[in-house]
Amino acid sequence: MPLVNIEYQPEGSRIAIWEITETEEMLMQCISEHDRVLEDLVSTAHPQRRLERLAVRALLKNVLNKQDVHLQHYDNGRPYLANSTTNISISHTKHFAAIIYNEKAPVGCDIECYTRDFSAVEQKALSDEERKYLSDKCHNLQLCLLWCAKEAIYKCVKEDSVDFARQIFVKKFIPKEKGKLSALYTNSIGFATEFILRYKMIENYLMVWTVNIN
């Protein structure tokens, strides 16, 4: 699996991105916990989703330098490593698998193809104030960034249910090939936390990630 890059972040995190080019059989050869993985894949009928899930496991094993990576999921879908205290977040698309991991702090990431239609995001995930600063020139790209940013924050916090439009506000920004975003997350009891997110474009894809160091 060709490595796109591994980046070290100032908060002690690392992000890793891989391009998925292998067959299912090739990816299985990269994973040592075959029985556990096969059991997990039984419920995954779609061939592309199977590839993406296998690519994530192969990436984790390679980057974390572990013989066995026991990837599990909580009831709300959030991933964790059963045999490690490392905080992880995972995202995958048709062509890429991406992770961020940190030994001490919660993390979150999301990767999406920014050329697909994100028009639904405007109605279901944005506040009125966020809609006001959307630009006609880069409308869809802004929506993609906003969605990825809110997904990354959601993956980073511990609340099971988050209203993206009401609880996560992303401050006005102008999209670039890479950069930072500032956002405010308000939890269910009204406590607000500021998040700094980083993002970068990779071909037609956009990855956003964050670390909760508060």
Q: What is the DSSP string of the chain?
A: --EEEEEE-TTS-EEEEEE----HHHHHTT-S-HHHHHHHHTT---HHHHHHHHHHHHHHHHHHT-S---EEE-TTS-EEETT---EEEEEE-SSEEEEEEESSS-EEEEEEETTS--HHHHHHT--HHHHHT--STTHHHHHHHHHHHHHHHHHHS--S---HHHHEEEPP----SEEEEEEEEE-TTS-EEEEEEEEEEETTEEEEEEE---
pTM given for the model: 0.91
The whole-number pLDDT of residue 41 equals 63
- In a shared domain, residues 127 and 69: no
Rounded distance, CA 109 to CA 16, Å?
11
pLDDT along the chain (214 residues), means of 10: 68 88 84 62 74 87 74 86 90 93 94 96 96 95 98 93 97 96 96 96 94 84
Q: How many domains are contained in the chain?
A: 2
Q: How confident is the model at residue 185, as a pLDDT? A: 98
77 with 116, same domain: the answer is no
Q: Which one of 77, 104, 131 terminates a domain?
A: 104
Among residues 70, 104, 138, the one where a domain terminates is: 104
Does residue 76 sit in the same domain as residue 125? no
pLDDT score at 152: 97
Is the domain of 143 the same as that of 52?
Answer: no
Tokens matching residue 175: 């999209």
pLDDT, residue 148, reads 98
Pick the last residue of a domain from 54, 79, 104: 104
Are residues 99 and 148 part of one domain?
no
Indicate if 158 and 100 belong to the same structural domain: no
Q: How far apart are CA 86 and CA 111, in angstroms?
A: 21
My answer on whether 43 and 120 are in the same domain is no
Domain that holds residue 204: 110-211
Q: What pLDDT, on the 0 to 100 scale, is given for residue 6?
A: 73
Backbone angles phi, psi at 137, to 5 degrees: -70, -40
Examine the domain organization and report whether 133 and 87 are in the same domain.
no
**C-beta separation of 197 from 211 below 8 A:** no
pLDDT of res. 42: 56
